[in-house]
Structure 1
Amino acid sequence: MLDNADACMALHDPLAEPMQCTRYRGLTLTSHFQPIFSIAHGRAVGYEGLVRARHDDGRPETPATLLALPNDGQQCLELDRTCRTLHMHNFARQASGQAWLFLNLNSQYLVTERPDIGFTRNLLQATGIPAHRLVIEIIESEVRDQAQLKQFIRYFRELGCLIAIDDFGAGHSNFDRIWDLEPDIVKIDRRLIQDASNSPRVGRILNGIVSLLHEAGSLVVIEGVESEHEALLAIAANADMVQGFYFAKPQPRLSDPQGVAEIFASLRRGQQWHSVKRHADLQHYSRGIEGLFQQALVEFAAHQQFVQSSTRLFSDPRTVRCYLLNEAGYQVSPNVYPLHYQQQLNRRFAPLQCGDHANWSHKHYHYRALKQPGVIQISRPYLSVADSRMCITLSQTVHAGGMLHVFCCDLDWQEQSRHCSAAEP
């Protein structure tokens, strides 16, 4: 229960209206706001309201301890409403332009307690905040009654609020609920960006998640960005917005930190540089074998002996397989492997290792070669279906026996994977 339902005045600022605080079980609760930045705009487009608690002697209390104080669902809902009321009043007291206010809503207790759904509508009227500037954050994995949750979401949407799914990628999150709830915004759990900073494989997964969420019609925020490297990964993943200590810590006052536009400009330049470097790395990695590749093409054009022509490429230890496609994309040769790689083939993928009559016309190395005939194409790293390993492919059109073919050579990328985490488009 609230010790004192009346808000107290705190954080006096002679240049701004004083902020509110409230009492709860011997603690003083105040609002802090953490900016959420648009990568494209280089500025804050929203602020997440976060509660801070202190004892009377000034000692801070952790949010986790505060949230553990209620004894039942009704008390949890009451604390949740207390925090939302505090944040909305403090947000309304400050100049915020058109920025959103992100508010966490304890959706599990909203569903189980089934309170009067007019609370948010009345709070919007009391604070004067337009409904379209309020983003309701829901942790979808904590709700068991999906139908009831959808009913509340429908109500918030009818009010004009936006819906955000929070902490996606943690716990039991799944895409089925994204398709079902159709959120306006999805906030990706901070653990994903942390793991992506240490693993190119997770980086590729993050890229794929962002792409899928965009296909579902949701904007994407990556939370917990705490370093330049993580910020660059978020930009590379094509996220729309970022949030984290690298850009700004939560503060009582709304603010766009000084120099943040320059930070984003620098990050965009850094991402462009990394893209150029990745391309240069690919060029450098394949440069030593391009001469052998051209010799193999000349030999194949002259004699139409594909296996014999491919053998020339096996003097380079990076070569893992060669194969020949026709103009329609059908594989017209078997996969040809060097002896050292045949011994490494994982027989678990045997059903995929025979390329006879397979069609690869949808693959980048085929259609790009046809688009630029006579020019060597170098793919970005991608996962080969033939052995479930990362590789890059050199490909080029070649005329032989009166027909147009695409000659392909795969190079192992395992040792290089730490340098490039981009998925092949």
Structure 2
Amino acid sequence: MHNAALPLPTFDAGAASAAPHAPLAVPMQFTRYRGLSLGSHFQPIFSIAHGRAVGYEGLVRAQHDDGRPESPAALLAMPRNGRECLELDRACRTLHMQNFARQASGQAWLFLNLNSQYLVSERPDIGFTRDLLQASGVPAHRLVIEIIESEVRDQAQLKRFIRHFRQLGCLIAIDDFGAGHSNFDRIWDLQPDIVKIDRRLIRDAGNSPRVERILNGIVSLLHEAGSLVVVEGVESEPEALLAIAANAANADMVQGFFFARPQPRLGDPPGAAERFASLLRGRQWHGLGRSADLQHYARGIEELFRQALAELAEHQQFAPSCRGLLNDPRTVRCYLLDEAGYQVSPNVYPLHYQQRLNLRFAPLLCGDSANWSHKHYHYRAMRQPGIVQVSRPYLSVADSRLCITLSQTVTVDGLRHVFCCDLDWQDR
């Protein structure tokens, strides 16, 4: 094995493929490595908006001469040093480029994993990818170089290689973000075109509303950084619904066994567009269901809230007007804001909640003279006076717990105020 693109013999992938498609029009290529035959499989990466594959990740598949498969992990453990690792990495990239180029792929991207750790440690000639592009005929703008940024310690050297790939016209993707030592500093520094979210985040988000919110926040931050986002490792319908969350920070693309398994042949699996249309409809109903759940939860206490407003308007005494609300187990606190958003009353807590107050957040518990004009429950109430507003769930700075807030304008001492009541939400 050497650093130039390998001359690869061919075999008929149509006969070898287990895919439920017609045989390939052209034979696929393979190469030999330490008694194994190496071939290419391609896993589609789907655009959520388009409902079709817009890229394919090249994955190596190895088998013995008797047809027994060898695991990718075992194959990648065979090289004995960094130089041999780099040579195997290059052999796989050459194989995938040639097999990709031999198939009709439209304008789709080819995602190629690049072992950035050995690329940096071995400091090879940076002309290999340029020569490979020329030999395969694949335009540079259709090649996405995937790197795992957490593997690399020499950031300056990695940036030099990334700059070279960009000068060629390739795109850069960060793989497995959210795993290991991934951090946003590297994102700001490397400025990838695409970031692939590690599978563990989507898996954990399916079991925890808190992780789901973190995932949505990560997607939003990556978008702010100028990167498109792929959620990879999607293996079930609930995970697919989370990935395309219509009422959260949308990911742009998805990848995983739920949508398509790797196959030698490029192309959308049957019914891909219909599946995405169904998922989007399901997510919209799911979002409506969440909104309805929020409204239902608030509606149960809305009559008590209106009674408190009426009593405050009549008697002009804040704390006594809250008595009915404070008897409801959902109530966390009540407080009064002026037109400018300043809190003009102390927080009034129900007895059942006073016993749960976390004194670790004592510096934030007192709301006197705090200004909440930037909060949606204040400015929405001011824009629509006389209408009860129900906020989205949010993390309260007062005690670091999730809550929703009911708010409405009320006249006190001749001036317009906003009456607020926080309800406990806590990962419902």
TM-score category, normalised to shorter length:
over 0.9
> Does residue 287 of structure 2 align to residue 275 of structure 1?
yes
1:124–1:131 Cα contact (<8 Å) kept: yes
Which residue identity does 2:352 align to in structure 1? H
- Please tell me whether the aligned partners of residues 13 and 264 of structure 2 are also in contact (alpha carbons under 8 angstroms): no
CA shift for structure 1 position 316: 1.0
Distance (whole Å) between structure 2 residues aligned to residue 166 and residue 323 of structure 1: 47
Aligned pairs for 1:357-396 (under 5 A) are 357-396=369-408
State the AA in 1 paired with 2:329: P
**Separation of aligned partners in 1, 2:72 and 2:13:** 23
Q: 1:43 to 1:5 in 2, by over 3 A?
A: closer
Alignment deviations for residues 322-373 of structure 1 (CA, whole Å, 9 cap, x no partner): 0111111111111100011101101001111000111111111111111211
AA aligned opposite 1:173: S
Alpha-carbon distance between aligned partners in 1 of 2:151 and 2:352, rounded to the nearest angstrom: 51
Paired position in structure 2 for 1:146: 155
1:10 aligned residue: 11
Residue of structure 1 in register with 2:30 after alignment: 21
Q: What's the secondary structure of 1:194's corresponding residue?
A: helix
Corresponding residue of 2:121: 112
Cα–Cα, structure 1 residues 167 and 368, in superposed 2: closer, same or farther, change >3 Å?
same
Structure 2 spans left out of the alignment, 5+ residues? 15-22
The equivalent residue for 2:368 is 356
Do the aligned residues in 2 keep the contact of 1:5 with 1:23 (CA within 8 Å)?
no
- Out of 410, 414, 419, the position equivalent to 1:398 is 410
Aligned to 1:408: 420
Task: Name the count of aligned residue pairs.
Answer: 415
Q: State the TM-score, normalized to the length of structure 2.
A: 0.95
Shift of 1:113: 0.8
CA distance in structure 2 between the partners assigned to 1:41 and 1:203 by the alignment: 24
Match of residue 50, structure 2, among 37, 41, 59: 41
CA positional deviation for 1:255? 1.4
Contact 2:316/2:413 (8 A) holds in 1 = yes
Partner of 1:214: 223
Alignment of 1:298-377 (within 5 A): 298-377=310-389
Alignment of 1:184-199 (within 5 A): 184-199=193-208
Give me the whole-angstrom Cα distance separating, in 2, the residues matched to 1:407 and 1:310. Answer: 10
Return the alpha-carbon distance in structure 2 between the equivalents of residues 212 and 182 of structure 1: 13
Q: Is the 8 A contact 1:304 1:401 kept in 2?
A: yes
Normalised to the residue count of structure 1, the TM-score between the two structures is: 0.96
Shift of 1:8: 2.3
2:17 paired residue number: none
Contact 1:39 1:241 in 2 (8 A): yes
1:55-103 superposed Cα distances (whole Å, 9 cap, x missing partner): 1111111111111111111111100000000000000000000000000
2:233 aligned with 1:232, yes or no?
no
Aligned residue identity for 2:357: L
Q: Tell me by how many angstroms 1:6 deviates.
A: 3.8
In 2: Cα distance, 1:15 partner to 1:375 partner: 64
Three-state SS of the structure 1 residue aligned to 2:244 is helix
1:11 to partner: Cα distance: 2.9
Distance (whole Å) between structure 1 residues aligned to residue 11 and residue 395 of structure 2: 57
Contact 1:399 1:405 in 2 (8 A): yes
Q: CA deviation at 1:311?
A: 1.6
Distance of 1:16 and 1:371 partners within structure 2: 64
| 1:212-253 Cα distance to aligned partner (Å, 9 max, x none) | 000000000000001110011011141000000000000000
Q: Deviations over 1:286-327 (max 9, x none)?
A: 112111101101111122211111122112111010011111
Identity of aligned residues (%): 81
